[in-house]
Structure formats: structure tokens, C-alpha cells
């Protein structure tokens, strides 16, 4: 029997007009402290976003989400937050924000295969 690991995940959302509080799911973060695992992926569909806000800058969104990913992955160009420990990076990324890139509240579960769990959640919640 495979060992099950406690994980947390949050959905990455774009909020084209923050004052309207409408959002579109564009990505997923999955974190497991015990396995030192933090995976982030995203998929932007410009037509969906621009159906809510025609003038929304998709190129700026892509740059901002890439920064988000670099922080999560602990890359050197992720700035000072990218140098935090993995759990601190996850907490920073999932903190409540009033910007156009937000996350859902973290949810938890148990998994014996974190990559398979990520793929399942990503397909269900993002694609």
C-alpha cells in the first residue's frame, strides 16, 4: 500500500474587473509539505477573459502569472518571496489579494500520487 500524503491546493483565478468580483479559473497550485512538493500550472483562454472585460490586457496577465509561477517554483528571478521556504511561498501565493490574480481558499486532501492528483484537479477545475 502506498503512503498517503496530506496536500493542499488552491485554484488560480483571474478577476478582470475586481469591483465586479467575477472570475475565471486559469490555474492550480498543489502543495505537500512532507514531500516538499509545490506544483503550479496555468492555462489562459483570452476569449473567456475578454468576454467579461474586452479591454483586459492578456499580455500583462501572462507576465504576472509567470511571476507567480517563478515565485512558487523558488526561482532566483522570483524575487525575495521566491527565496522563501516552500511552505511560506505557498502561503504567500494563497493569501487574500484584491488584484486581478487571486486564488481560492486552500483546500486539503490525501494522495498517494501527487502528480496524478494534480492532473485530476487541474482537468476538473481549470480545463
pLDDT tens-place string over residues 24-81: 999 999 999 999 999 999 999 999 999 999 999 999 999 999 999 999 999 999 999 9
Give the dihedral of Cα atoms 32, 33, 35, 37; nearest 10 deg: 50
What is the distance, to the nearest Å, from the Cα of residue 125 to the centroid of all Cα atoms in its chain?
Answer: 11
User: Is pLDDT at 1 greater than 70 in this prediction?
Assistant: no
Is there a contact between 7 and 36 (Cβ–Cβ < 8 Å)?
no
CA distance 37 to 47: 32
Mean pLDDT value across the chain = 95
pLDDT of residue 20: 87
Angstrom distance (rounded) from CA 76 to CA 67:
11
What is the mean pLDDT of the segment spanning 98-105? 91
Report strand pairing: 37-42 vs 5-14. Answer: unpaired
Amino acid at each position: 500500500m502506498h503512503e498517503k500524503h496530506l496536500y493542499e491546493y488552491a485554484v488560480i483565478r483571474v478577476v478582470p474587473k475586481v469591483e465586479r468580483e467575477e472570475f475565471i479559473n486559469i490555474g492550480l497550485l498543489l502543495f505537500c509539505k512532507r514531500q516538499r512538493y509545490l506544483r503550479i500550472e496555468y492555462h489562459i483562454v483570452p476569449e473567456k477573459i475578454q468576454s467579461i472585460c474586452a479591454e483586459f490586457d492578456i499580455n500583462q496577465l501572462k507576465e504576472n502569472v509567470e511571476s507567480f509561477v517563478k515565485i512558487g517554483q523558488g526561482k532566483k528571478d522570483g524575487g525575495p518571496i521566491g527565496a522563501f521556504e516552500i511552505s511560506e511561498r505557498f502561503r504567500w501565493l494563497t493569501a487574500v489579494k484584491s488584484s486581478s490574480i487571486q486564488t481560492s481558499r486552500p483546500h486539503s486532501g490525501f494522495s498517494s500520487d501527487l502528480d496524478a492528483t494534480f492532473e485530476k484537479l487541474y482537468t476538473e477545475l481549470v480545463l
